[in-house]
Structures are given as structure tokens and as C-alpha cells.
Chain A
């Protein structure tokens, strides 16, 4: 948001009943920070510290467009915000607490719909408290629980003392798969340094937007990985027809086969799969140097070749399982002047769930890439997303490398409310790159990537 420097920051606090919201609020209010904080809360009367302003709200939601969640705002909140501006003593901070069953969208949208509100208040962040033990009762069934996690900039995994380390790892993985961009803090009794939850400027376009580099952790655009030890030789890939008319694959060179190196390679492959691909017809050579290759499957049977750019260990990532195309890998040896082809088997394989199999779930799709984008194409794409996908895309934000422009472009969106601008000059030596994240339901990674790739300047 392009807020006024004198605007009052607002933190939205969400979380199910019993997750620890009241404990956190009491902690915020009782800390000796010397700030005048107003709390707008629903469970009126539970929180209250001398000298603090606690205002009851009734979560009155109204629609600005017929039946569209994208255009709902909180009427009660608007009235309260209007009243607060008329006070003589200026507030330093506002915290809006929502009821356990609330969807955070109308609250967030309240701060975006009107220029005067945008000018006087700045939505700082959405903080969601999750009860690490009891969240499993809601996380699969409750739309509100999923929305609260999906909308969050910060997630407090609270009551970690009530669960085992294994349960906590499982929960953290699940949450990251839903919202890969939120900062996760593990807490007991909602005990956290306030600097992690207040004044973090998650919605501020003027602040340095930091996208979580781990954002793509649980989103695999490939279904299969095989580890191979390749010699400096010519290899041959034989493939039959399969479920798709093309087959994407990329190679990542590994230093060794340790878990850390393989995990890093998986992340690299996610980025490579987001890049523009090189399309190859049969009989062509595949690039093994961090390039996405799209093999065209035009015949009943076809052969492709590659020679590793360096001999050594590689991870090969494929869009589909190799068995779906009866893929065979062989190496060419020449004995007494006669070429022979020997089968090559991976030393290790792994399979990955493909995200397009998960319908109606909340997930994140991240794009990171260094190509220059066409401003006109980006505008067309964003227009399309806001027009057609705004209900499903809860939040999006990004940094863009626009062709022919020395400015870094940044944007933020909540459903169909959107804010964007040229931010600052790219610094000398800084890698100009695009980083975009979408969080929402029914996100189609392939479609988002395909439309993104159309914005790349050829």
C-alpha cells in the first residue's frame, strides 16, 4: 500500500478460539512499549489493561458487489476507524482481533477500498495463531482455518509444548504447503518478541519486499527425480508415446549425493522448471546445464541424445514418471570400433506428488526467474487474474524485472484489490529478477507458469 508515513499501522490478529489470541493481546498490551494502542476486538471484555483503548466490534460484513467475496469489507470496522480519526490524542497502533471463525479477507480489504482509509491507516500484517495440538481438528475441514493460514504474513505455531517434535515437523510442512511465504514462529503461551509481529510492514510497497526464498518448498513441478553418475560419453534417451505430446526434463549437477545437496538441487529444479524451456524434436541433443528441455513426443518411438557438460553426478528431474513414456536411458560405448548401447540405471530415485492432482486445496505457487518482462504483457496477465481468478487467489505479491526500465516494480494484491508501482532503481551489481508468489485455492501451477512465460520478452 502506498501509505502516508504518518499513517497508523494496523495488525490483524486471527486464529481459532483457544489458539492463544487473548494471551498474545494481553502480552502486547502489558509490555512497556510506551505506545498508545487501540484494540478492536470481538470477544469484548476479555482483554483490558489500564490506559489502553479496547473497542468492541460486531463483524458486520457488507458486499460492494453482488455475492463476491472479493468485494466484502467490514462496515463496523470502517465506522470505528472513522471515529478513531476524530480523537484528539493520536494513536500509535491498532490491533484488530477477529473471531475464531472469521475469514480475514473482509478485514484486509477494508484497508484497501478507500483512498482516505489507505492514507490514514496502513495494514501492517496479518498474524495468525495456530494451536499446534488442536489445529488438526480443523485444518482439513474448516474453510476459515485454511483461509486464516493462507492469508497470514506471520504464523505463530503456539502451544508447541503440547505436541511431539515429529508432529510439529508434520504441521510445519503442511502449513508451508498452504502458505509458503509466511514467517513461522514456534511459541509456547504465545510468547514472542513483539518485533516479529508488529511493525513488520508486510503490506508496504515502499518497504523492501522480502519474498521467502523457501516459498516453493512443497510445490514440485516435476513428478520424478533420478540420481545418475554420468561419464564423459554420449547418452541416448529412448521414449515411446505417453499421456502428453511433450515431456519436460532438466539436469542439475551435484557435488555429492548427500541429502542437503539433493534438497538444494530439488529447489534449483523448481526454479529451472519455471524458466522458459528449449523445445527439442527427436534426434536432437538435450542441454544438461540447468536448462528446461521440452522433448516433443511426435512419434510412436523417438530418441534424444545428450552428453553431460561435465562428467559426474547429476539429478535428472522429469515432468512425468519415466515409466509413463517407457523411457530407457543408454550409454554409447565403442568396442573395437563397434558402438554398443548399455542400459544406465539411476543410483537413487524419488517421486513427487504433482500439485495439479490436489483440487480444492490451498497452496502457494512461487515463480523466480531472471528474464525481462514486457510491461504490457504483465498488465494483460494481471488484468486477467483480477478479472477471472480473484476469488481463488487470496493473496499475491511480487517483484518484477521490466524490460527497458531501470526501476524495480513491486505489487501486492488481496483478492481483486491490487496495488502496484515502480519501487526503486535496481542497484549496480544486483541481480535483476522476478519473484512472484500466489497463495490461494485451486491454483493451477502450470497455467500460472504458462501465462507468466508469455510475459517474457523474447
Chain B
């Protein structure tokens, strides 16, 4: 369960958000212009989902790509981003 009032996820989230965005830009080879990356933490109500997951949205016209990582933002590492990018590129090639 999250401890909402201790802000256990909050203090460093700004820095982590910046880092994760940079990793996403690198692994997905995104351009600096015309592309926005969003990093969010959501508490998912769906059965089987973890309590808190990290959602990465890449907004690049004409589409928005949404990826989920089944853990809180503070535990996201470069290999998570590498994995979702590899999966994405593999699926799009085949």
C-alpha cells in the first residue's frame, strides 16, 4: 500500500522522471523536436496488475505510444527501457 502522506515516491521523482525521459529518448532514438515523452505513475485497479506501475507515453504525431512497466518509477532502470524499446522494435519489424 502506498503511504500517501509521507510522499515516499515524491522527493526524487522529478530527477528520476528526467532520467527516465532521457533513457526513453536514447533507446527509442527520438528526435529533440516534435516529440514529447510523459512519465507517470498510476495505481492500476485491474486484476493482476501491480499496485503502482510506471506508464511511459511517447507523443509524436500522428500517434501516441503507451508502454507500461510493472513497478513504481523509483525502481525503473535503464534495462526496463531497453526491454520495452527492443520489444517495440521487434514487433514493428515482424
Contacts and interface: CB of A to CB of B under 8 A. Distances in A.
A65 B57 CA distance: 11
A114 B2 contact: no
B43 A421 contact: no
A64 B44 CA distance: 10
Contacts of A420: 4-5, 7
A444 to B, nearest CB: 18
A121 interface: no
A3 B43 CA distance: 21
A75 B59 CA distance: 7
Interface in B49-81: 51, 55, 57, 59, 61, 64, 66
A387 B45 CA distance: 5
Q: Is the interface of B mostly helix, strand, loop or mixed?
A: mixed
A418 B5 contact: no
Contacts, number: 81
A416 B64 CA distance: 21
Interface in B1-17: 1-5, 7, 10, 13-14, 17
Interface string B29-52: 000000010111011111000010
Given A379-B3, A421-B5, A65 B44 contact: yes
Contacts of B46: 65-66
B18 interface: yes
A390 B5 contact: no
A135 to B, nearest CB: 33
B66 A64 contact: yes
Looking at B18, B40, B46, which has the most chain A CB atoms within 10 Å of its CB?
B40
Nearest to B61: A79
B38 to A, nearest CB: 5
Contacts of B17: 114-116
Contact of B4 (A79, A387, A411): A411
B43 A416 contact: yes
4 closest pairs, A vs B, by CB? A113-B40, A115-B17, A420-B4, A62-B64
Interface of A: 2, 62-66, 68, 71, 73, 75, 78-79, 82, 113-117, 119, 375, 378-380, 382-383, 386-388, 390, 402, 409, 411, 416, 418, 420-422
16 contacts: A2-B10, A62-B64, A64-B66, A65-B42, A68-B45, A75-B59, A75-B64, A79-B59, A79-B61, A114-B38, A380-B1, A382-B4, A383-B1, A383-B4, A416-B45, A421-B7
